[in-house]
Amino acid sequence: MSKPTPFTLNIDDAQIADLRERLARTRFPDQAPDAAWTYGTDVSYLKDLVADWRDRFDWRAQEARLNALPQFKVRLHGIDLHYLQVPGRGPKPLPLLLSHGWPGSVFEFLELIPRLTDPARFGGDAADAFTVIAPSLPGYGLSFTPGQPRFSVEQIADAFAELMTGVLGYPRFAAQGGDWGAFITSRLGAVHADKLVGIHLNLLAVRRDPKMLAAPTPEEARFADELAHWLKEETGYQWIQGTRPQTLAFGLTDSPAGLAAWIAEKFRAWSDNDGMIEDAISRDHLLANISLYWFTGAIGSSFWPYVARMHGPWPIPDGGVRVPMGYAQFPREILKPPRSLAERMYTDIRRWSVMPRGGHFAAMEQPEALAREIVEFFRPLRPR
């Protein structure tokens, strides 16, 4: 088996200069009628974002934030998989796999990780420390090279299970995720249950259930309405990413402004903000995430879980997830299934927390609250 090698990110100066030149040549469309953001990214917002990205944003500072944490690459399942591995500071740190989603990256976790690895630094108990392993999903960011194999949720889960047990030598571990990371984590809990002490989620991987629609409770009826709106108004990106990813990749790989528009619209729609992304997520954190997609050229390959999901089976097998599960429901999450529906997929729900603030990008928006939930859920599951 291949051995991990230390990794440091260092984007060439020429790539940074090329990005700025491209941003300076951006050709913007006119603004569609009706209110801003009604039909996608607002033109005036994107003009400001592009100018900020070109003239003010300091990529080197964000690169240094990532490089301050131990990073590695390892040859696994036909690709060079990138991951952070940050040791816990406590008497017996529990290994914790953190999985991000789309359009996220490991930059999502930079505020969350220290709260998990060194809880005493933030007023917590060192006995709650985790050793955090946070991979870049295959095909995303630093786990991408042109022409490499594409991965489904099922394949990512298998690769992560091998990373944790075979490469890093953890016989059992904890796992947490949102977005595709929630699907990956749920898949791990279903098919690699013997390796998991439990899973924690901030998005639920549940299916539409005809039984729910036949005689719904009030909570289930609310969710049915929420789901109907989501399917009608918010899933266009899924269809094009899942059916014509190659075509879309040309525009987003060639135009940084186009890439920024595609990603920023999701950060605004899915985060807990008052009309501006920056109400929930700082401008620098947003641009760091977009920049990583740009510099790695990974936007096209990042679509592949949508392709696999649209053309393959549901990734959670019949029988569901039987390992202990905890869930933090943030109020601006894209979908919030009721517990009655979740219990048909997750048969051992130990913690269900309704959070006061936050949205889809919980690790970036509310790192302290999410860290607290993760700590509280796993505390009774830690090996004695």
Which ranges of the chain would DSSP assign to H, the alpha helix? 13-24, 43-55, 59-67, 113-117, 153-162, 180-191, 210-214, 218-233, 236-243, 245-254, 256-270, 283-296, 299-302, 304-311, 339-342, 362-365, 367-378
Residue with tokens 């949205």: 359
Closest CA to 116 of 329, 383, 358, 374: 374
pTM score, whole prediction: 0.97
Distance CA 277, CA 280 (A): 6
CA distance readout (Å), 7 to 136, 143, 296:
13, 12, 15
DSSP H or E stretch at residue 199: strand 196-201
Residues with active-site annotation: 179, 306, 360
Closest CA to 306 of 248, 253, 232: 248
Cβ of 171: how many Cβ atoms within 10 Å? 10
Q: Give the type of residue at 192.
A: H
pLDDT value of residue 212:
63
pLDDT value of residue 209:
67
Distance CA 172, CA 195 (A): 4
Secondary structure class of 134 (helix, strand, coil): strand
114 prior amide bond cis, ω within 30: no
Residues 6+ apart with CB under 8 A from 1: 166, 167
Residues 6+ apart with CB under 8 A from 291: 19, 53, 57, 59, 62
Secondary structure class of 325 (helix, strand, coil): strand
Q: Are 281 and 365 in contact (CB under 8 A)?
A: yes
Distance CA 160, CA 164 (A): 6
Residues 6+ apart with CB under 8 A from 50: 23, 26, 256, 257, 260
Distance CA 262, CA 104 (A): 12
Residues 6+ apart with CB under 8 A from 298: 139, 140, 141, 144
Residue with tokens 């953001």: 37
Cβ-count burial 100-121 (b if 16+ within 10 Å, e if not): bbbbbbbbbbbbbbbbbbbbee
**Bridge partners (DSSP) listed for residue 79:** 76
pLDDT value of residue 213:
67
Distance CA 348, CA 326 (A): 9
Per-residue pLDDT of the chain (384 residues; tens, 9 = 90+): 689 999 999 999 999 999 999 999 999 999 999 999 999 999 999 999 999 999 999 999 999 999 999 999 999 999 999 999 999 999 999 999 999 999 999 999 999 999 999 999 999 999 999 999 999 999 999 999 999 999 999 999 999 999 999 999 999 999 999 999 999 999 999 999 999 999 999 999 888 766 666 778 899 889 989 999 999 999 999 999 999 999 999 999 999 999 999 999 999 999 999 999 999 999 999 999 999 999 999 999 999 999 999 999 999 998 899 999 999 999 999 999 999 999 999 999 999 999 999 999 999 999 999 999 999 999 999 988
What is the Cα gyration radius of the chain? 20
Q: Give the type of residue at 113.
A: I
DSSP 272-285: --SSSGGGTS-HHH
